Structure 1
Amino acid sequence: MAAQSAPKVVLKSTTKMSLNERFTNMLKNKQLMPVNIRASMQQQQQLASARNRRLAQQMENRPSVQAVGV
């Protein structure tokens, strides 16, 4: 009785990048991310502060608010 072996499966490479390169790039990007998050949070905070200042100015200029202050 001759044992039949399964046919070999040959997978072609789907990327030009090795796993080592891919994980190295992931680690580099992971280290840069907190800086990007901090910068975007700071930008959002500045935008919110500007909106709050405009709102406070609008409230001060309302006749009903000015009448209370007199």
Structure 2
Amino acid sequence: MSAPSSQKVVLKSTTKVSLNQRFTNMLKNKQPTVSNIRATMQQQHMASARNRRLAQQMENRPSVQAALQHKQVREGMACTKMT
């Protein structure tokens, strides 16, 4: 075995981008993992279910039903006036 040399190794810079910037770019361009995709889909599914329940609750409110019936009556009257 040879003794470690005391010579300096000089490498020429091959890029103008710093390591910090390079790793920052890698993290930004990182593809989502399967578990992240599944978690996102599950969150969307849960949000959709909450929205459906909220819509059902709104439909069952007396004030909303009255407004819908009033709208149907007005649309029915508008249709009879046209004929």
> What is the TM-score with the length of structure 1 in the denominator?
0.49
Q: Over alpha carbons, which structure has the higher Rg?
A: 2
> What is the TM-score with the length of structure 2 in the denominator?
0.43
Identify the structure with bigger relative contact order (alpha carbons < 8 Å, sequence gap 6+): 1
